[in-house]
Amino acid sequence: MDQLGYTVDFLNVGFGLCVIAYPTQDRFPVLVVDGGYDRPQHNTGCTLPLEEHLSRLGVKEVDLMVSTHPHRDHIGGLARVVEQLPVRRFLTGLATLPSISPGNGNQGNMAVALELLRDMLERLHRQHAHVIGVTGITRIQCGRAELTITTPTEAAITRRDKALAQCGKAPDPAAFRELSGTLNETSLLVSLTVNGAGFLLPGDRNLADLLRADLPRWEQTFPSCQILQVPHHGDQNHLSREAVQVIGAKTGVVSADIHGTYGLPTAGLEEGLTAWGMEKILYTTGSLEKETASGIRFLVSGDGVLEQQWIPCKQQE
């Protein structure tokens, strides 16, 4: 790999999402998009927590950290990293939180995720990190990596903020369920371009709905991409034939687990996406039936040529 080469890793974090990008040779500056869960759901020889991967790489500082949305399977691993490493910049669609008093239902995953986010924001402020609340369309650099990040519609943000306020008033199970339901639709949409190669990271955003509602802005805003993170852990209902054709990516990456958590990936996902024009579907676990990898690695040459590899499981090293 030449000196301008870049590496983009999609980690096997079980049911969750975690993407890391860094220059292949010197491994600085490091970009992290989401971090998976804060604790292993299934201890295997293949799952690779974000903190462990950064340690293996010898990373001492994260230049840019992006949280697409504060569900625990996306934000938990970020919180663990912030406890251990300095972070220079943190991008989020939710930079402030209402005070939520302890109450019935305040021990569920949604409540834990909010506490993780609150603690993380406090740590970041103590570190004097630059915490950026993303609004509208934001473009930002991390080394040679270029990011275009967009927020959802004002209507979706209003629904989320209303649900957040209700959790502050009455932290009961119903309020947290309502909030959790708004977070997928308010995921930040991240387009990552490295040496001309494009990766689209929609978190849990429904791309089928997005394109139906705002196709002109999509076509004007986002560069073409080769790699698509299939949204919502391989949920085919979050894509459509039109979305796949407009996005143009021929390779889809599914960040899920082999246990069918929440019924994901969707049964028949590969056949459906292939019928819509996608040529290759990759799983961060290596396969749907048995974990054979700790993630997917894309090596990007200086002129944008992509080479795909597997991150080997610990017992294979």
Domain boundaries, the chain: 6-316
Query: For residue 307, which of 165, 195, 150 has the smallest C-alpha distance?
Result: 195
| Gyration radius from the chain CA atoms | 18
Q: Are 110 and 117 in contact (CB under 8 A)?
A: no
Query: What pTM was computed for the model?
Result: 0.95
- pLDDT (tens place) for every residue of the chain, 317 residues total: 477 899 999 999 999 999 999 999 999 999 999 999 998 676 678 999 999 999 999 999 999 999 999 999 999 999 999 999 999 999 999 998 877 765 444 457 898 899 999 999 999 999 999 999 998 889 999 999 999 999 988 999 999 999 999 888 877 888 898 999 999 999 999 999 999 999 999 999 999 988 777 767 676 677 789 999 999 999 999 999 999 988 999 999 999 999 999 999 999 999 999 999 999 999 999 999 999 999 999 999 999 999 999 999 976 65
Among 3.40.50.2000, 3.60.15.10, 3.40.50.970, 3.10.129.10, name the CATH number for the domain at 6-316: 3.60.15.10
* Alpha-carbon distance values, 231 to 84, 188, 201 (Å): 29, 12, 8
- Write the DSSP assignment of 126-194 as a string of letters: HTT-EEEE--SEEEEEETTEEEEEE---HHHHHHHHHHHHHHHH--SHHHHHHHHHHHGGGPPEEEEEE
Q: Which two tokens stand for residue 1?
A: 């790999």
Q: Is 268 exposed, middle or buried (0-12, 13-18, 19+ CB in 10 A)?
A: exposed
